Amino acid sequence: MERSKLANQYHETGYSCAQSVACVFPEVTKLPIEQLAALCGAFGGGFRADELCGVVSGAAVVIGARWPHSRPEDLAAKDLAAEKMQDFHRRFLSRFPSLVCRDLKPQAPDFQASDPDLQGLKPCSVYIAAAVEILEEMLAGEAPEGARP
């Protein structure tokens, strides 16, 4: 099943936007879906305060797992993680006006998801699909494992 559809199914069953995005990338995070859901449980609804959109925080979990900064002295990894997160921000903001939940929810963006079945869904579903698509684009743009430019 296509990831964006699966993410929206997770959302329809009760997961937050953040959980829905992160939970469709268990092979990237190397974490089981249940653990991803637990880690992202408080992120939805803009950290439960209509702040940073849950799809962005869910994407951050995937980005952090794929491009980790896990040692404080590893400044190259820190810079790469920041670069990847900023890339996600740029891509998201090229489609939508904000990264903030309260700014996004009232809008009904005219977003054309790559899958026609996702068009016309409620705003959160559109943002979920977009975040998943952006992450897939970012992951697809990587060099094969072991290859270095």
95-133, pLDDT tens digit by residue?
A: 998 999 988 875 444 545 455 554 444 579 999 999 999
Sequence-separated (6 or more) residues with CB below 8 Å from residue 70: 77
* Rounded Cα–Cα distance for residues 92 and 55 (Å): 10
Beta-carbon neighbour count of residue 72 at 10 Å? Answer: 8
Q: Report yes or no: 88 and 135 within 8 Å, Cβ to Cβ.
A: yes
pLDDT of residue 129: 96
Please check the confidence at residue 94 and state whether its pLDDT lies above 70. Answer: yes
User: Can you read off the two tokens belonging to residue 9?
Assistant: 């199914």
Taking CA atoms, 46 is separated from 24, 42, 103, 136, in Å, by: 19, 9, 10, 22
Please check the confidence at residue 92 and state whether its pLDDT lies above 80. Answer: yes
Q: What's this model's pTM, rounded to 2 decimal places?
A: 0.85
